[in-house]
């Protein structure tokens, strides 16, 4: 491992960490509750969903980096993937609300683990599908 490899790893990791913080902050704006406040108050359901969302975004970022030699291409792919995932989640959340009266945000805010797991799994599955495309493109 050369010094350039170490330096590049530090830069890619630093940019990735900043990107994840920004994306999770933006994602928090689209929930009907304040993630960090709920987690501080001990809401395990919100913590579970937050961790699953963070994993999903991290996985997409890791696959973006894996499939790109250019840092900014990887960042762009991650941002576009985030937007796609956000739109898909909004659509599915609304479909569940309208068809079976299942409000994932409200249930998660109330501490219902089942709601959190379902909401978080939407992110994880979406990330797996999106990342699989990143690997072949």
- pLDDT average, residue stretch 108-118: 96
pLDDT on residue 135: 67
Beta-carbon neighbour count of residue 83 at 10 Å?
A: 12
Query: What are the backbone dihedrals phi and psi of residue 103, each rounded to the nearest 5 degrees, phi first?
Result: -100, 100
Question: Residues 38-95: pLDDT tens digits?
Answer: 999 999 999 999 999 999 999 998 898 888 888 888 889 889 999 999 999 899 999 9
- DSSP letter at 41 equals T
**Residue-wise burial string across 99-113, b where 16 or more C-beta atoms lie within 10 A, e elsewhere:** eeebbbbebbbeeee
The alpha-carbon radius of gyration of the chain (Å, integer) is 16
Per-chain mean pLDDT for the chain = 91
Q: Which of 113, 122, 120, 130 is nearest to 44 (CA)?
A: 113
Tokens of 10: 């530090």
Q: Where does the pLDDT of residue 9 fall: very low under 50, low under 70, confident under 90, or very high at 90 and above?
A: confident
């Amino acid at each position: 491992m050369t010094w350039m490899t170490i330096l590049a790893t530090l830069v890619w990791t630093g940019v990735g960490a900043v990107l994840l913080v920004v994306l999770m902050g933006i994602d928090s704006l689209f929930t009907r509750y304040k993630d960090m406040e709920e987690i501080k108050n001990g809401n395990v359901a919100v913590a579970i969903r937050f961790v699953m969302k963070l994993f999903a975004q991290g996985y997409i970022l890791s696959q973006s980096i894996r499939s790109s030699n250019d840092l900014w291409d990887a960042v762009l792919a991650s941002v576009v993937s985030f937007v796609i995932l956000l739109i898909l989640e909004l659509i599915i959340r609304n479909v569940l609300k309208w068809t079976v009266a299942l409000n994932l945000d409200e249930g998660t805010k109330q501490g219902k683990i089942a709601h959190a797991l379902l909401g978080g799994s939407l992110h994880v599955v979406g990330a797996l599908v999106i990342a699989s495309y990143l690997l072949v493109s």
